[in-house]
Amino acid sequence: MQEALNDLEGSEILSREQAALLRRIYGRELFSVHWELRLVLYGGILILTTGLGLLVAKHFASIGHLTLIAAIALGCVGCFAYCLRRGGGFSPESLTTPDAAYDYVLLLGCLLLGTLQGYLELRYQVLAQYWNWWLLASALIYLLCAHYFDNRLVLSLALSTLGAWLGVKTSQLGAGLWDGTLRDSALFFGALVIAAGAIQTRLGWKRHFLPVHLHLGVNVLLSALVAGVGSRAGGSAYLAGLLLTGSGSAFYALRERSFAFLLYAVLYGMSASQPSCSISVTGAVKGSYSTFWSARRRC
């Protein structure tokens, strides 16, 4: 490596400063803590919002309703004001993040908004038995924020909230856990999420959002199909759907060189197999990993 850097510097392909920087990186004098910092920020946001929720639940009477509402609202407005000031506005293409805290301040603002909505409904019962519409309103607001501020974290939150709203609406019809009605809703939601991501990509609009759509949509689809394989009515249809979806996930994994989608296909396929199957999940994952990287080397 040192010889290659010397040759590049001698050929004036690299400047002296660039070569010196690369030597420091190669000598492990410099290393990146980018993902560690992002993980710390993400964990801090979750801990902060969890603590706020516990504070609201246990001490709202002593603190005062209006004080709590004003504090949460001010925090939410402050987060969105920061993002509006620092952000570059809407663009169909990927935007450069202004700073390391930008994405997480936006996520905090969205979570504070959800906390405010939940507290208003808990205290004043604004929508009473129709409280689930708060979930739909939250999902739509999160979708707007995700696309305007170009944030995949908030997009994940938006799609998850939309799925929660659909699940609550289905459960109000008397559907039990993973019964036919709820499975059908999950299949519809998973297909809708994947289709929305594919259409956006086709139109050239926020193409980098596609992996978020696919990860969530494929997991929801496969979960619903696995739950339906053992049902008395339509078990064979669910099995056919599972094979088709799993094959599509594996094909996408090989085409895009994304091991996660191959892992989904293997794990959900194994979970739907008979308990007497002699192949362990661990062995299957190891075998699929070897197959994936062999195919990648051939590409």
Q: Does 49 have pLDDT greater than 90?
A: no
Secondary structure of 133-168 in HEC code, one letter for each residue: HHHHHHHHHHHHHHHHHCCHHHHHHHHHHHHHHHHH
d(CA 249, CA 259): 10
The answer to whether the CB of 230 falls within 8 A of the CB of 269 is no
The answer to whether the CB of 229 falls within 8 A of the CB of 238 is yes
**pLDDT band at 207; cut points 50, 70, 90:** very high
Give Cα 207 distance to the centre of its chain.
15
Give the other-Cβ count within 10 Å of 225's Cβ.
25
Q: What is the pTM for the complete model shown?
A: 0.76
- What is the tens place of the pLDDT at every residue in 89-128? 788 888 888 887 898 899 999 989 988 888 888 778 888 7
* Helix 34-63, helix 65-86: angle, nearest 10: 150
Tokens of 221: 């689809």
How does DSSP assign 223-255, residue by residue?
A: HHHHHHHT-SSSHHHHHHHHHHHHHHHHHHHHH
The answer to whether the CB of 182 falls within 8 A of the CB of 175 is yes
Across 137-142, average pLDDT: 94
Give the other-Cβ count within 10 Å of 193's Cβ.
23
d(CA 133, CA 169): 9
7/210: higher pLDDT: 210
Q: Does 257 have pLDDT greater than 90?
A: no
- What is the tens place of the pLDDT at every residue in 6-29? 666 676 677 777 777 677 766 666
109, amino acid identity? G
- Residue % of the chain over a pLDDT of 70: 79
- The 8-class DSSP code of residue 276 comes to T
Tokens of 260: 């996660």
**pLDDT band at 210; cut points 50, 70, 90:** very high
128: left (phi over 0), alpha (psi -120 to 50) or beta: left
